[in-house]
Amino acid sequence: MDHDLTAVLAQIRVHYQPIVDLDTGAVAGFEALVRTTDANGAIGSIGPVIDAIESDPQLLELLMRQLLKNIRQEAVPLFDRYPDFYVSVNVPPAILGTRKIARMIDEFDLYPYLRRLVCEITERQALTPEGRAALEASREHRIRVALDDFGTGNSGLTQLLGLSVDILKMDRSQVVQVAKDPVHERLIRGIIALASLIRARVVAEGVETPAQALFLQAAGVDYGQGWFWSRAVPATDLPRLIETGFPDWRRKLIDRLNNE
């Protein structure tokens, strides 16, 4: 195990990006995103070291433990005050499909809050034998699952219909083409229809522009996530976002467009 990376993981922080109900503007949930901190307290991305961490089982387990510990300390206390939001966190199949996840849930006393937590695995991961085992294990533990990066893989319809997931997270690469490519717009409508077949909700990631937000809401996407509403924020900002939400985002946007 790399001791330098162990030190990095000991200092991680979690920021939370809101997931917005496109019909009401309420904050439906947050995705928990890992951030690093340097000796001066500056916040950075974990991207430069994530491959090294994921290639080491001990480091990966340490990352997940630190991440869940932060969520337990920062987000879980808000569940009683605000009963209508969830927290979504990326959990690789190597953790989700083993007893490790059960031990961590027990360690941080998360069992009473399982319905408020969502574990994300990518579409490509879910279609591997390890990923399918992870999905089965999640059901045994009553863990809700989101299929992340949806639309980037080469899965067939029959493969997806066999998956038991609660949420499809539409990849940013699909969203950025909205209002640019009619083919991608039809693809998004197809994803919405598929989600209906498997009784899953749809989250569109990477929403950055008014045109994207309006199209997704009109097309029937349930939730949006992206800089259009908010970047990821520290835990201290969660009560403010939950209480205010973005109730008038659509009306204000349409008024602005009509006045241009």
Whole-number Å distance between alpha carbons of 154 and 123: 9
pLDDT at 158: 60
Token pair of 70 as six digits: 């932060």
pLDDT at 49: 85
Token pair of 27 as six digits: 């904050």
Q: Which of these, 130, 113, 114, 131, lies nearest to 122 by C-alpha position?
A: 131
Q: What is the mean pLDDT of each run of 10 residues along the chain (260 residues)?
A: 78 94 96 86 82 88 94 96 95 89 93 94 84 86 89 62 84 85 84 88 94 92 96 96 90 69
Residue 168: CB atoms within 10 Å: 26
121 bridge partner residues: 147
pLDDT at 185: 84
pLDDT at 3: 62
pLDDT at 154: 56
Domain boundaries, the chain: 3-259
The angle at the Cα of 108, spanning 107 to 112, to the nearest 5 degrees, equals 110
Pairing of strands 27-37, 223-224: unpaired
**Residue 122 backbone dihedrals phi, psi, to 5 degrees:** -75, 160
Pick the CATH number of 3-259 from 3.60.15.10, 3.20.20.450, 1.20.150.20, 3.90.1170.40: 3.20.20.450
- DSSP string for 128-139: SHHHHHHHHHHH
DSSP-derived 3-state class of residue 250: helix
